[in-house]
Structures are given as C-alpha cells and as structure tokens.
Amino acid sequence: MLRCWADACVCYASPSGDTHLLPLAQGLLLQRLEQGPAPASELAAFVAAALELPVGAVGTAVPEMLSELGALKLVEAAAP
Amino acid sequence: MKIGAYPESALQHALAGSGIRLRTGPFVFAIESRIAALAAGIRLLYGEHSLEAEDRFADFHIRLRRPHGLRHLFGPQVFFDFEGFSSFKPLPLAQAFPMLEWGMNWCIATHAEHYLIIHAAVIERAGRAVIMPAPPGSGKSTLCAALVSRGWRLLSDELTLVRLADGALVPLARPISLKNQSIEVIRAFAPDLVMSAPVHDTVKGSVAHLRAPTDSLARVEETAQPAWVVFPQYRAGSPTVLAPHPKAQAFMELGSQSFNYTRLGRRAFEVLADLVEHSRCFDFRYSSLDEAIRAFDTLPSP
Amino acid sequence: MKPVHLIALLKAPARAPALRPADWERVIPQARAAGLLGRLAARLDEHELLSGVPDGPRPYLESALDIAHNHASVMRWEVACIEEALYALELPVVLLKGGAYLMANLPVARGRFFTDLDILVPRSRLPEVEGAMMRSGWATTHLDAYDQRYYREWMHELPPMMHITRRNVVDIHHAIVPLTSPLRSDSAALLADAVPVAGSRCLRVLAPADMVIHSATHLFLEGEFQKGLRDLVDLDGLLRHFSRIPGFFEALQARAGELGLQQPLAFALRYAARLLDTPIPADALEEARRVLGPAPLRALRDAVFLRALRPFHPSCWDALTPPALWLLYLRGHRLRMPLRQLVPHLWRKARMRAEQESEDGQTPAPRMQPPA
C-alpha cells in the first residue's frame, strides 16, 4: 500500500502494520516492484525516467536504496 | 427543551438523581453527579443543547463525584468515573467542569474506534474544512476560537473525527477550551461568545471554556469534507506567513497526532492518505488574529 | 444473583434482536470491562446478527471486530519474527494462549485481541533462548534485582522481554505452573506431545487436551480476575471445538491426572458449564464435582468463583463480590508461592504502591497524549 506525492511517499507495510515515510525514489522503486520482480538495471531506468534524471545519476544509488528497503522488510531479493 | 431553560436547581436534582443524557455530535453521554457546581457549568456551556430521552442508547456512562471515605480530608476533590471505575487521579473540586470536558474527550479518544481520531481542531466554511493539528502551546485553540467568532463553523477544537467508512469529518460542537493569556485575548476579540469564569491553578494553568456558537450546534449533524491541513504556530511579533507543507510529511505528522492510527491499521492508512490527497497542506505562522482571519479567508483552493 | 446481560447474549446470540437500548447499555460496558467486545461481535457475526444490532451499540462491536482482525495480521508477523529469532536453535518452541489459538486457526481466535505472545521452551535451554531473543532485538524488562529473582527463581517464566523498536512483549515460559507453587507440572510431557504449526520451522502448539488444561491452570491459579470471564470464554471455545474429537473428555481427564492438574480442570469444566452452558458429558461433570471436595467446600468455591468470573463491572457485582475477589487474590498468591515468601513479597508490593502514590503528589489532569 503505497501513496506518493511530490515530496515523498508513505507506505503501509501489510504484515507488520508499520507505516514508513520513504524518499520519492524509493517509493518509485516499490511502485515498480509491486508489478513484479525486476533486475536492478531495469529499476534504475524506471526511476530515472520518472524523475527525469540521467540513468547514470540514479544507477549507482539503486543498490543502496534496495538494501534500505530490504532492511525495512519491504522488498527481498528474488532468484534471477 | 434546552438545558439553559431549566432552573439550575432542577438540573442539579436531575444530575444527582438518575443523571442527564447529553448528546454531543454522534455520542450520547449519560452524566451523573452530586457536585452542585457542575450543574452551573453544564447549564452555561451546554445551554443550547437539549437533553436526550432516557431511552436513547448512551455511548458513555460517566460520573463526577467527591471522594469516598476519609480522602476528603485532603481538601475538596473530584473524581471522574467511567463505567464505574476511576480512570484518573482526582482533581481539586473547583476544577470539576474542566475535568468533565477532559474526561469526555478521553472517552471519545479512547473508545470511539469507528473513527480515526486526530488531536487537532477542525472548522468549516462553505462546505470545506480546515484541520489544525498542533501540540500544546501552538495557539491552536485561540486561533480556532477567533475563526469561529468570525464565521467559521466549529466542528471541534480538540478532536478531529474522520469517519472510516467515507472519510467525512464528523462534528462534536462542544465547548472550546482556552488557557492562560488566550482567555483575555478571546474575551476582547470575541466578546459575544459565551465564556465560563476561568478556573485557576490547573495543570494547564488557568482554563476557561467557550460555548459552541448556536449555528455550529444547529448544524452538528452536518459532516464536512477536508480541504486544508494547516499547522499553526503562534509567535509573538511574527508576520503572517502561509507556507506549503509537504504532503507526505503532513501525513506522518497527522498519523503521529492520532490517538488510534496504529490500532486501526490499514484502514487508517487509506483514510488518512485520502484526506491528505484532497487537502492543501500549509505551515502557518502568525501573531495577529486579524491578519490570521484574513489569511484563512483567502486560503488557496485545493 | 442478578442476571448478566453479556453472558446471556454470549450463550444465546439469538436474543440480540429482542434487546432494547437499556439492555445494550448493559452489554456494551460489560463487554468492554471484560475485554470481550470483539469476541461478542464475532459471535453475533457468525449468527448473521451483527448488522442488525441498532445504530447506537453497533459501531463499538464492529470496530472491535475490525481491530481484532487487523491486529491478528500484526500478531502473525510478530510470531514470524520469533520464529526467525529462534529456529536456528533447533528446539521446540510451543506457542501458548492467544498466539497458539491464532496460529492453529482455532475458532476461538476470532475477534480476540491480545498483545503479548507467550511461548514455552525447555528449561535447560532458557539461556540460549534468551540470548537469541536479545540478538534479535528483545530486551528484558523488570530490571529491579528483586523482580528479576521473582521471575527467574520462583516463577515459571522469564521476566517479559520487550522488543526495542517494535515494543511488542514476549513471555518465555519453561513451565505452566510457578516453581514455587504447591502444584507441579510436567513440561517435558507437554513439549513432547506438542503439535507442529503448519508451515513453521520450529513453532508448535500444545496438544488439544494440554491446551485446555493449560488454559484452565492459567485461569484457576490466577489471583486477579479482570480477565476471568474472557479466559473462561476461551475455555468454552476450546472445549466446544475439541469435543468433536472422539474420546476427548476421557483423554482430557486422564491427561489432567498424569499432570497432577485435576483441580484446575475440574474448576474449568464446572464453571464453563454453569456460566456459559458449555456442553460437557455428565460423567466428566460428576468427576469434577468429586475433585472439588465435599458439598460445603464446593458451595463456598461456587460462591466465590461464580462471582469472580462475571464481567469486571459494577453492574455484575453484589455485596459479596469484593470479599470474593479479595479471597481469590490471596489464594492466587498462595498458589504461586509458600507463605514464607508470600508475606515479604506482598509487603514489598504494598510498599512500592504506596511510594508510587506519594510520589505522584500533584494530581495530573487527564493527558491527551497521542501515541509516541
């Protein structure tokens, strides 16, 4: 359950009942992953397009953002 | 018949006997008390309310009473009992009416779990409501009282009730509580509003209550739709400044100012997200009530 | 004694349409006091009577059911966190009470709101369990040296552990009866017969007879009865559900005999039948009567328990209720520890309460604190 606004996103994590405030980029990652698993490269492209930034600027940050989302138990690694 | 039309002695008699039933918005309180002074407070501040019949379901049963046994040797005190049990430590007897108000707030905030309840004032005009969450000391109640005296309808000065089924804001139209300096400020700013005599030396300082305006009470069954969330901050000498407040942050602050957001889980998330979605969110700094009124008159449309 | 509206409705939900506002004004406060709003709502809902409840009381029932339902999801998550913390230790972790009812999908879990999770583990492995929980973010509470000793040396559980960030509480038991109690229980037998939870790596629940016996022991060793009716309603639900197992009541009594817990079981069967009309075979009730002693003693026990098990609300009390509650308070302590420990323990509790009250001094107004 994810809602995004111009500044950031809020996310209700269903099993734990926690509500998280997420930076926009991470919210977009979650939004994309809600549609199905994806490799990091595809996620970077998605976020870059949405934020109108060059892919290179986003790409290096994606693994760290995914790691933070993983720590919140909002995402997990899927087998390739 | 309106409560204000009863002689005080009749009201005392009813309170000391089988009690009275008072409707405040969607809630009926069954109130019993042998404390004579309480009748005066109720008669003044709920003067425009009518008593409910005994056969209407009462949501909450409360009693304000003197201590049993030897405790009265510690100076006159009043207890607040909810459904037969004392929920709080006693207060000095002179604070009986404020205790009634605080106790009624507690009942609603603790037990009315069919609403998302936010610690915020909420007022409405022309079909659109402003929600004003604020920690104590931000001047929320003063601002609320001032706006209500200048044409805004009062839903509540303390408890914003968001109906879970549809996100509508549900009015209470109960007395507005004022503290310390704001008592004189509002007395001067809105002399037409009916105000109780101040009660001194409470934990919050001096406290007084304003009767809800007749129009607000007359429309208590009319819900409102949220249009603005305004975070007020009084600062002496400050110019009047309305600045956008980011929505996701507003969501988190409204959630943290709620009594039951966590308990209500995902439904609260959805209702609150919809509320923020449909509202424009602002920070509001002010020192002049007149300028504040003008700013609210011209809030940008959502 | 006066009839109790809440109990009458729990026994016969079909009465709901005939209730007047004045009746609902008894039911709702009694249910609130007893912690049974959600359970009552679930019972009415099962009979398709909830939507027909009048506008006044209905929102309190519906919201209690919704909140219990929502909370159940959160508690499943918390159970998963415990599993995550403990599965590497390769030992049986038996869920007790609310956690067990939830994970075993028992009907009695519906509408039941609970916050603490209780688990039973072998006593010999307590240090490892405590260590593993700490590494996963739970910290011990009751840091006072006396309280620590109370729990670790005398009671059947560690001091409650609270998670640092999530604030949920887990009670870790190694027995179902305190060490200092005159009653004995055999944890090894309980652990050996525990039933795995579907889909879990290490979690179990007690076998049906043991679950009933544990619930009975927990209730009838208790000293404070605010949750008495709620626990009895749990017992009623468990008995009704498990009575479908052929030979259940015979197995139940045999097991209670093995564990030395015939008395708590006898109380449970007798009072569930008396207060909640739980269907129990006549010979089981007869055996319960026998266990509970000669008629005068039984009559005294009835007088005390039938009052204490009512909703904890003044509308359900009579003049004898306060002394009955006081007797049970003493009895509860006596059942937990011998007199030579009990007297200093109660003295200490009373002193601490007095200190707390005198510290408070200036009485605070009700504070409208939103949750942190």
The confidence score (pLDDT) of residue B70 equals: 67
Each residue's pLDDT tens digit, B172-185: 999 999 999 999 99
ipTM score here?
0.94
Q: Is the predicted pLDDT of residue C1 greater than 80, yes or no?
A: no
> What phi and psi, each to the nearest 5 degrees, are found at residue A14?
-60, -50
DSSP tally for chain C: helices H, then strands E = 16, 7
The confidence score (pLDDT) of residue B71 equals: 62
> pTM (2 decimals)?
0.91
Give the tokens for residue B219.
């429309």
Cβ C260 vs Cβ C184: under 8 Å = yes
The confidence score (pLDDT) of residue C367 equals: 33
Task: Band the pLDDT of C166: cuts 50, 70, 90.
Answer: confident
- CA–CA distance, A6 with A27 (Å, rounded to integer): 11
Give me the amino acid identity at B55: D
Adjacent-strand bridge partners of B120: B133
State the count of interchain CB pairs (< 8 A) between B and C. 97
Q: Does C349 contact A at CB distance below 8 Å?
A: no
- From the list B101, B94, B14, the residue with the least C-alpha distance to B54 is B14
**Of residues C207 and C361, more confidently modeled:** C207
DSSP character for C153? Answer: I
Express as a percent the part of chain C with pLDDT over 90. Answer: 71
Cβ B275 vs Cβ C81: under 8 Å = no
- From the list B3, B74, B1, B62, the residue with the least C-alpha distance to B27 is B62
The confidence score (pLDDT) of residue C340 equals: 67
Each residue's pLDDT tens digit, A21-46: 999 888 988 888 888 888 888 888 88
Burial C238-248 (b: 16+ CB within 10 A, else e): bbbbbbeeeeb
Q: Is the predicted pLDDT of residue B44 greater than 80, yes or no?
A: yes
Q: Are strands B280-286 and B225-234 parallel, antiparallel or unpaired?
A: parallel
Instruction: Tell me, rounded to whole angstroms, the distance of Cα B10 from its chain centroid.
Output: 27
DSSP character for C104? Answer: T
Site from B23, B57, B59 to mutate, C interface, most C CB atoms within 10 angstroms: B57
Residues of A in contact with C76 (CB under 8 A): 15
Q: Please name the member of C22, C32, C368 whose beta carbon is closest to the beta carbon of B119.
A: C368
The confidence score (pLDDT) of residue C209 equals: 97
The confidence score (pLDDT) of residue C339 equals: 66
Task: Band the pLDDT of C366: cuts 50, 70, 90.
Answer: very low
C238 sits in which H/E element: helix C228-242
Query: What contacts 24+ positions apart, CB below 8 Å, involve B183-187?
Result: B183/B208, B185/B142, B185/B289, B186/B142, B186/B145, B186/B146, B186/B149, B186/B210
**By CA distance, what is A17's nearest residue in C?**
C74
**Which of the listed ranges B234-238, C38-42, C349-353 does the model predict with the highest average pLDDT?**
C38-42
Three-state secondary-structure class, residue C158: coil
Site from B256, B262, B266, B283 to mutate, A interface, most A CB atoms within 10 angstroms: B266
Four-residue CA torsion sign, C81, C83, C88, C89: positive
C234 sits in which H/E element: helix C228-242
Express as a percent the part of chain C with pLDDT over 70. Answer: 92
Residues of C in contact with B93 (CB under 8 A): none
pLDDT mean over C158-162: 91
The confidence score (pLDDT) of residue C362 equals: 34
CB pair distance less than 8 Å for B83 and C29:
yes
The DSSP string of A7-27 is: SEEEEEETTTTEEEEEEHHHH
- Rounded to a whole number of angstroms, the distance from the CA of A43 to the nearest CA of chain B is 23
Q: Does A17 contact B at CB distance below 8 Å?
A: yes
Q: Does A71 contact C at CB distance below 8 Å?
A: no
Each residue's pLDDT tens digit, C79-103: 999 999 999 999 999 999 999 999 9
Task: Band the pLDDT of C358: cuts 50, 70, 90.
Answer: low
Task: Band the pLDDT of B78: cuts 50, 70, 90.
Answer: very high
Q: Please name the member of C60, C70, C368 whose beta carbon is closest to the beta carbon of B265.
A: C70
Each residue's pLDDT tens digit, C212-247: 999 999 999 887 888 999 999 999 999 999 999 999
Chains touching chain A through at least 3 C-beta pairs below 8 angstroms are B, C
The confidence score (pLDDT) of residue A67 equals: 84
The confidence score (pLDDT) of residue C54 equals: 97
Adjacent-strand bridge partners of B177: B209
Q: Is the predicted pLDDT of residue B121 greater than 70, yes or no?
A: yes
Question: B188 burial class (0-12, 13-18, 19+ CB within 10 angstroms)?
Answer: exposed
Question: B28 burial class (0-12, 13-18, 19+ CB within 10 angstroms)?
Answer: buried
- To 5 degrees, how large is the angle CA C130–CA C264–CA C172? 5
Instruction: Spell out the residues 6+ positions from residue C88 whose beta carbon is closer than 8 angstroms to its own.
Output: C132
Each residue's pLDDT tens digit, B92-113: 999 999 999 999 999 999 999 9
Three-state secondary-structure class, residue C263: helix
Residue B295 CA: distances (Å) to CA of B125, B246, C13? 14, 19, 56
Give the tokens for residue B267.
């439904």
Give the tokens for residue C366.
């009700």
